[in-house]
Chains A and B, each alone.
Chain A
């Protein structure tokens, strides 16, 4: 599904990723953990194609395509979804209207008929129910005035409607209380399937108690320094990240 080779990424003249290697097969859930500043979110945003993140080396192959050659919207229509760490507030753009446009853009690409307003609402209401998201969220402007928890739930709601092939969750757990965390995790778990893969970026082990990963990778200073199974997350919980940092790498 996804083959990342020696990926190097720079943000504003600062080298952040220094050669990431990662292979994700269909149906797998990979957790990317690491201390602040290790490059976790940079990795997520680079996969989504954020224009501020300049790829200076390496390759990313997604389902046989060169992912880096695609614009962010093309990636999305090909089934890559990133749940934002900080979902953007967009006053004046209706959440349902936007989501319908996004879904139809993807359906069009897949050669499917666009959904009309009625079919779309039927689909959406079913997803809302599963995620315990209030219907009023649909009629509000995208993320505007949403609480932190509402924003994250809205991201997962978008994901549920868009049904991506590869979902990248960028610190979706940050700022969530335990109830919201459970709802979000349930939403993700409900979507796990042999055809769909997840990359879950998180600082804390806590999320992985709810979304149980197949693999855990530890990122430090722009490289994956350790990979392992679920037990690696528990080890990190116990020991902290200090050991991952090469001496003198941080002030």
Chain B
């Protein structure tokens, strides 16, 4: 067992120990479990992943490649906050940033209250594993009433010369009536396998707004598991927009609990599964209180022998009258060998609710292809245009222009490369 920082406060040690105990009891999930039926994690479970110790030489270059000008930049290298690569020069009023290690030690407000408390690790074995190594990461706190215009960009860099595991951790707390936008980019060493096991917890206070943009562009040999879990209090608004192009196996568990009346959330995503990669997204929406709304759109593009799993769970609790929930899941299969398992899972206990869901799996519309080609676009350009249109509904939710340009650029460059080589 690697040595952790000795100065961690007692409560951190307790949470770590409880999680370690839980993970030791349940272990890595297997395909006999309903939530893991289509995703075999044995390549993760059976490999030896030494805990990453410190940074690696490519981290600075990888960070520079995705930096957004003007943003507050927080860099986590192999699970640890990297002050040297971070840039807090544009830190605005009303925003407090701390490394989790320092913040926990200095008893920064809110960290002890919320860290590891937004959701139960009992149903998320990888989050339990992450918590058992609870040590460092970043905390972002928007104080009451703060309208933070400057985006916060978390760059999570993972990898090294040899295979490693990292357990990065992020906590975002938006106080009452505050507003904050956070982007996170997952990126890693291109030539080495690594396992990145992230947990992101978000607390959206009453009437607060948090927009979270996730750009998952891990290397092709990486294993990427992330739990993004949010609590939204009364009249709070939370948006999660996830763009995923990387990793050999990706598993996202995105859970939102609407815990106060009149809360609203958006949970959108686009993913690309090509080569022999597996992209698994499990979303969970807990409508716990009345008069809450949720909007969910997930779009998948599959090529080569790519596989995808989408499970969209919506729970409407007994008290959650006047719930308005909408879920759409669509996938485009660009090859005969690509497959998707798509499953909406609605559990409705209240009687006065509006709940709709739609799932569709299809291929590129050949008549539309012909129409575009008949006007002079070559086949690749025509396909790009249709795929762009397909993903556009989700991409247009990106409200930070520089980030949108970056994510869009990466997404379509990648799509071009991979689908053309692979189809």
Contacts and interface: CB of A to CB of B under 8 A. Distances in A.
Contact of B374 (A82, A103, A141): A82
Contact of B393 (A51, A90, A92): A92
Contacts of B377: 73, 98, 101-102, 105
Contacts of A92: 388-390, 392-393
Given A71-B379, A90-B368, A105-B378, A76 B373 contact: yes
A105 B376 contact: yes
Interface string A60-80: 000000000001110111000
Contacts of A84: 371, 374
B32 interface: no
B370 A72 contact: yes
B55 to A, nearest CB: 42
Contacts of B371: 84, 87-88, 90, 142
Contact of B375 (A51, A109, A162): A162
Contacts of B368: 88, 90
Contacts of B392: 92
B381 A76 contact: no
Contacts of B388: 92-93
A162 B376 contact: yes
B361 interface: no
A101 B384 CA distance: 12
Given A50-B370, A51-B366, A73 B376 contact: yes
Contacts of B389: 90-93, 141
B386 interface: yes
A40 interface: no
A32 B280 CA distance: 54
A90 B377 CA distance: 14
Q: Most B CB atoms within 10 A — which of A51, A88, A106, A142?
A: A88
A118 to B, nearest CB: 20
B372 interface: yes
A217 interface: no
B385 A101 contact: yes
A219 interface: no
Interface in A93-128: 93, 98-99, 101-103, 105-106, 109
A98 B367 contact: no
A49 B369 CA distance: 12
A101 B370 contact: no
Interface residues of A, number: 31
Nearest to B371: A88
A99 B375 CA distance: 8
A76 B366 CA distance: 17
Contacts of A81: 374-375
B332 to A, nearest CB: 12
A161 B408 CA distance: 29
B382 interface: yes
A81 B372 CA distance: 12
B366 A93 contact: no
A161 to B, nearest CB: 10
A164 to B, nearest CB: 10
Contacts of A106: 376
B362 to A, nearest CB: 13
Given A87-B371, A92-B390, A102 B376 contact: yes
Contacts of A156: none
B375 A76 contact: yes
B386 A90 contact: yes
A62 B198 CA distance: 61
Nearest to A158: B375
Contacts of A98: 372, 375, 377, 385
Contacts of A207: none
Contacts of A93: 372, 385-386, 388-389
A48 interface: yes
A51 B365 CA distance: 13
Contact of B372 (A50, A90, A162): A90
B397 to A, nearest CB: 14
Nearest to B390: A92
A99 B371 CA distance: 12
A81 B374 CA distance: 7
Contacts of A109: 376
Contact of B382 (A73, A99, A162): A73
A80 B381 CA distance: 19
A87 B372 CA distance: 11
B393 A72 contact: no
Nearest to A80: B374
Nearest to B396: A92
A101 B388 CA distance: 14
A32 B377 CA distance: 28
Closest 4 CB pairs of A and B: A92-B389, A76-B376, A102-B375, A88-B371
14 contacts: A48-B374, A51-B370, A81-B374, A82-B374, A84-B374, A90-B368, A93-B372, A98-B375, A98-B385, A101-B385, A102-B377, A105-B376, A106-B376, A158-B375
Interface of A: 48-51, 71-73, 75-77, 81-82, 84, 87-88, 90-93, 98-99, 101-103, 105-106, 109, 141-142, 158, 162
Given A49-B374, A102-B372, 19 more contacts: A49-B373, A51-B366, A71-B379, A72-B374, A73-B373, A73-B382, A88-B367, A88-B368, A88-B370, A91-B389, A92-B388, A92-B390, A93-B372, A93-B388, A98-B385, A101-B385, A106-B376, A142-B371, A158-B375
